[in-house]
Amino acid sequence: MLFPTTVFAVFFLVVFLGNWVLRRYHVAWLWFLLVASYVFYGWWDWRFLILIAGSSVMNHVLAIAIHRHTARQVHRVLLGLALCFNLGLLGFFKYYGFFVESAYSLCGHFGVVPTLPLLEIILPVGISFFTFQALSYVIDVYRNDIPPAPSLLSFAVYLAFFPQLVAGPIVRAATFLPQLGQTPDARPLETGRAGLLILGGLFKKIVLANTLATYLADPVFAFPEAYGALDTLLGVYGYALQIYCDFSAYSDIAIGVALLLGFRFPDNFCAPYFALSFRDFWHRWHISLSTWLRDYLYIPMGGSRRGRVRTSCNLIVTFLLGGLWHGANWRFVVWGALHGLYLSLERLWAWCVPATFRNSRARYILRPLAWIVVFHGVCLSWFFFRADTFADAWLMIRQLRDWQTPAGLLQPQILSVLAVGFLVQLLDGNRLAPVADWVEHRHPVVQGVLAAVVLTIILGLGPQGVAPFIYFQF
């Protein structure tokens, strides 16, 4: 079920009513949320409900067992079981084909034919997101950071909660489970903020992301040989802004929808292309994933506590795996490796260049330069993320030397959409709070009419049809 569709509109009205009518009957309310979430997920393919239900049962049982057993050895074995189960599930559904193909390709070089079965496995939507949520829950219980969920039902709702189920944000159990408690949040519903998040998300997705894809990114990435340096640059800028508008739109809509149901999620984006360092970029881009990788991978590997070389290795390994999380393809691994390398080089720069110099008058030159380097470094990594093949990515990078071919895409319409796509980042965070406050003080009918008029304008301005969100494939 996609957010900007009539089916979801009807579904949401039913869920909104049921959620608030049943809120005082705790168990019935939890069952209602679970059934609604399963309907949302099963709308795509009901067979994968068995997968998410099985994952809920297994992880809850293991978390309870980890919590009850005090012996250190048993603790570790149970955690190992949980890790094997979750990573095995992800590995089978997402990476089996990738590893088999890679094994065939590698063995082919040595003239050996492996006997691994080639299976056609459908990738369940959102498996990367709910598996990471389950992993964080079990690890947090193991670390004694949180108690296990009070019931299997609560945990199943946490894992399947429909607004963030298929494309994040990755909400931690420590944030979500307390909100499933008996006592409802006493604060009034922030209708204005939720409405702005949803409409802003729809504007970013329908108008900006779809337009950038239609007129700029898709044509350039589909026929890279037909475009020169300037068009290729515009194409990758377009994709950089398209993926931001697309993914942050989903996160915003998810946060807004959850807010209307009385749940508060943390922000997932904060103007990432304004970052002045790669570290800063990862504090602003897909925050729920970057903090997940930091807390459950980078820090347990030693983080920055074991010397410079080890820190760089930890960064690169974390981002290699972060890249692989995005998709079963070596292109994503290269994308992750590039980011790991950037972060390592950035640390090297910080170690080599004294802070006194970086904060001196030279900062007036260094900061704009840093922005240019960071933005283009990120764009370079997008070539591998978006191109269909490695060959295409290399071809596009090589095309950056071709300044002879005239730039057909250098048109005011395209430049203006790029500018709006870049500036829309200014709306991240809570910068629209005064507008939300103003909306909340209008009569509810006025609020509804305003929202409908704005949505109609959005639908009129965006290209026809609803393209799926990019992050659905992960």
Partner 1 sequence: MLRIRDSRITTLIAIVAFYLVMLGLNGEAMLRKAELLPYGRYRQGMVALARPFAGVARLGPGVLRKYFEQMREQYWKGVQQ
| Among the listed residues 96, 98, 104, 215, the single contact to partner 1 using CB under 8 A | 215
Using the minimum distance from each CB to partner 1, give the nearer residue, 334 or 417. Answer: 417
Q: Is the dihedral of CA 174, 177, 182, 183 positive or negative?
A: positive
Residue written as token pair 């030279």 = 362
**One of 105, 452, 468, 473 touching partner 1 (CB under 8 A):** 452
Residues 371-410 that bind partner 1 (CB under 8 A): 408
Nearer to partner 1, 84 or 452 (CB): 452
Interaction between residue 187 and partner 1 (CB under 8 A):
yes
Q: Which is nearer to partner 1, 411 or 473 (CB)?
A: 411
Q: Which is nearer to partner 1, 117 or 460 (CB)?
A: 460
- Looking at the Cβ atoms of 395 and 455, the one nearer to partner 1 is 455
Residue 164 interacts with partner 1 (CB under 8 A): yes or no: no
The rounded Cα 257 to chain-centroid distance in angstroms is: 17
Among residues 195, 322, 327, 421, the one that binds partner 1 under rule CB under 8 A:
195
18 in Cβ contact with 96 (< 8 Å): no
Cα distances (angstroms) measured from residue 180 to each of 24, 123, 183, 185, 317: 12, 30, 8, 10, 36
- Tell me the residue ranges of DSSP E strands in 226-274: none
Q: Which of 26, 75, 283, 326 is catalytic?
A: 326
Which spans in 307-442 are helix H?
A: 308-326, 330-352, 355-358, 363-386, 390-399, 412-423, 433-440
Q: How far is the CB of 199 from partner 1 (least distance, A)?
A: 10
CA dihedral (418, 281, 338, 293) positive or negative: negative
Q: Does 419 bind partner 1 (CB under 8 A)?
A: no
Q: Please answer whether residues 58 and 183 qualify as being in contact, where contact means their C-beta atoms are separated by less than 8 angstroms.
A: no
Find the distance separating the first CA and the last CA of the chain, reported in whole Å. Answer: 16
Q: Which stretch binds partner 1 (CB under 8 A): 39-47, 265-273, 345-353, 461-469?
A: 461-469
CB of 289 to partner 1, least distance (A): 31
Which of these segments, 329-337, 348-356, 373-381, 439-447, binds partner 1 (CB under 8 A)? 439-447
Supply the minimum distance, in Å, between the C-beta of residue 301 and partner 1.
45
How far out from the chain centre does Cα 296 lie? Answer: 17
- What letter does residue 423 receive in the DSSP assignment? H
Residue from 459, 466, 467, 472 that binds partner 1 (CB under 8 A)? 459
Instruction: Write out the two tokens for 287.
Output: 């925050």
Minimum distance from residue 461 beta carbon to partner 1 (Å):
5
Instruction: Identify whether 326 is a catalytic site residue.
Output: yes
Number of residues that bind partner 1 (CB under 8 A): 36
**Residue type, position 150, single letter:** P
Q: How far apart are CA 269 and CA 251, in angstroms?
A: 8
Find the binder of partner 1 among 111, 117, 406, 444 (CB under 8 A).
Answer: 444
Phi, psi of 24 (to 5 degrees): -80, -20
For residue 241, which of 299, 175, 285, 186 has the smallest C-alpha distance? 285
Per-residue binding letters, 3-42, with partner 1 (x by CB under 8 A): ------x---x--xx--x----------------------
Binding of residue 191 to partner 1 (CB under 8 A): yes
Q: Is 456 in the site for partner 1 (CB under 8 A)?
A: yes
Residue 473's Cβ-side half-sphere holds a number of Cα atoms within 13 Å equal to 14
Q: Is 87 in the site for partner 1 (CB under 8 A)?
A: no
Residue 106 makes contact with partner 1 by CB under 8 A: no
Q: For the window 230-269, what string marks contact with partner 1 as x by the rule CB under 8 A?
A: ------------------------------x---------
Give yes or no for residue 465 binding partner 1 (CB under 8 A).
no
* The only residue of 219, 238, 322, 340 in contact with partner 1, by rule CB under 8 A: 219
Residue 138, amino acid? V
Return the SS3 of 442. coil
- Closer residue to partner 1 (CB): 7 or 350: 7
Do residues 458 and 195 make contact, with C-beta atoms less than 8 angstroms apart?
A: no
455 is a site residue for partner 1 (CB under 8 A): yes
Q: Exposed/middle/buried for 409, CB within 10 Å: 0-12, 13-18, 19+?
A: buried
For partner 1, the binding residue among 92, 449, 468, 473 (CB under 8 A) is 449
Distance CA 369, CA 237 (A): 17
DSSP state of 432: T
- Is 448 a binder of partner 1 (CB under 8 A)? yes
456 versus 473: smaller Cβ distance to partner 1: 456
Q: Tell me the two tokens of residue 218.
A: 């898709």
Residues annotated as catalytic (active site), given as ranges: 326
Binding site residues, partner 1, CB under 8 A: 9, 13, 16-17, 20, 186-189, 191, 195, 214-215, 219, 260, 408, 411, 413-414, 440, 444-445, 447-449, 451-453, 455-457, 459-463
